[in-house]
Chain A
Amino acid sequence: MRRQFKTTVSDLAINDPRIAVILGDVSVYMFKDFQDRQPERFYNMGICENTLISVAAGMSAAGLRPFVHTIAPFLTERSYEQIKLDLCYNQFPASIVTCGASFDYAWDGSTHHCYTDLAILRLLPHMEVFQPGSRKEVDALIRSRYAAGSATYFRLSDHPHDIETNLEFGKGTLFKQGNAGVTVMTAGPILPNVLEACRDLDVNVVYFHTLKPIDRELVERFSDTRILVVHDAFGLQEAINEVPGLRTWYHGLPDVFCAWYGTVHDIRKKIGLDPAGIRQAVERVIRSN
């Protein structure tokens, strides 16, 4: 996904001289060809995430369209006030692109785990929030939204899926329809686990890459069913519940620090976000009628 981000931004920068890239000493080698072609628009600025955002706001004020990129917890949770005030309140739009969210850097421990980013950024006016699950979504969403006028958050993953989805901004995808009166809603790269878990279950499966604005129309189509939100972060359930009167359950993060190492798959399994764990959660909701 990161490579796709680089490819898309490099391609856009050929025709859009407003694009600049600000890195927090991450993905630097990957951007070497961008740096070689447009050195005046490439800045490996330093490990100072708060200031990366403030500087991006100032560059935006000067008419540029900056992409700020580094590791998710440091650029979102640590720099929340800079995003809130310098980008959103000032209406100096820029694109924030992160790697390592949820448990992509599982082995680094809880300091590097990041699962509140989507939820907290969703709360900010003048902010759009994306959790693309595939490379195609990364490409389509960046192209359609980086210059649309709001601050944008693109949360990349090292474990993308390659499933075909509706690539349109703000639109979800209906994967499967069933008769159990249960709809499983999910977002981002965990989609394959959800589809495998629900393969032979008589449920609806709905997928989103855009968390803000959420596809309310699609959510409303299933408002008379019990909705299980399966997500490896916070934010999707809150977005879905913008539609009033839903009966929703959440299957995702526990209220403890996931203080284990290993891989993303190890942690997903531990907290029940592997296919077997998800299947058990869906079956519980089916039985709960």
Chain B
Amino acid sequence: MDPRCQSIRANILKASHSSGHGHIPTSFSIIECLVAVYEVMRHDPKRPDWPERDKFVLSKGHASLGYYGVLSSFGYFLAEDMLTFGGFMSNYGCHADRLKARGVEASTGSLGHGIGIATGMALGSKIHGSKSRVFTLIGDGESNEGTVWEAVMVANNNNLNNLTIIYDHNKSQGRCMPLDKPVERFSSFGCDVEMIDGHDLPALRTALARQSDRVRVIVADSVKGYGCRTLVDNMYEWHRRSPNAEELGKLMEELHAPAV
């Protein structure tokens, strides 16, 4: 595992243990994707309002721990700040507030909203004649929401080739309404779709850097809870659970164990 991604996951475990909040497995499935996004995007943590920056919107807002972990790793705030996660006066709530957490472009949480906002940002960028790109990450459960598909239609109909949608294909919605054949589905809407191993950082970097003449969709074939065996094997039990001290030790051990 990439050392940065490993360190981010460790910070997430600590923050969840410290606060008693957080969706760890869903955050763990997106770490490589988000690291690749922040490596590819033009952004400046010292100037989060830089007008020419590219933008990222976390549409599946409950993966905020993963988002905060990545933002702190890229210098938007300190990893220690995440220890207040979900606290009354914290700037780092269980769903991010753009007016509180530095670097957050849109406040999300209710599913199926962020992708529409990102679509509007991409359209706004085009209207301004700006080269700014917009990235958004949606979940497979989130894609049960009809508004996801409305936004995909609007983005394609307006030829928003400056928009890249990352679909976190961690298969967590298998117990409810699974979205099978995601490549075919997004392709049928007119998107330029590529399926990538959701934990292959170099491949994600390359895929995210590549621009197209159409709306880009990266289907990130990911593993919910990636990095800790316990989380992978028990993703439903751990969907919204924080580790106690003993469990934290075990998860840290698993996280730092050599890859098999």
Contact = CB atoms under 8 A, between A and B. Distances in A.
B107 A51 contact: no
Contact of A62 (B113, B124, B147, B158): B124
Contact of A90 (B55, B106, B119, B123): B106
B128 interface: yes
Nearest to A53: B116
Interface size class of B (residues with CB under 8 A): 20 to 34
A59 interface: yes
A178 interface: no
Contacts of B125: 62
A46 B106 contact: no
A41 B127 CA distance: 7
Contacts of B98: 90
A195 interface: no
Q: Determine the interface band of chain A, counting residues with CB < 8 A from chain B.
A: 20 to 34
B124 A64 contact: yes
B231 interface: no
A48 B127 contact: no
Interface string A31-56: 00000000011010110101101111
A95 interface: no
A57 B147 contact: no
B105 interface: yes
Interface of B: 51, 55, 98-99, 105-107, 109-110, 112-113, 115-125, 127-128, 146-147, 150-151, 153-154, 157-158
Interface of A: 20, 40-41, 43, 45-46, 48, 50-51, 53-64, 66, 81-82, 85-86, 89-92
9 contacts: A51-B150, A51-B154, A55-B154, A58-B117, A59-B127, A63-B51, A82-B147, A85-B110, A89-B107
Closest 4 CB pairs of A and B: A58-B120, A62-B124, A54-B116, A55-B120
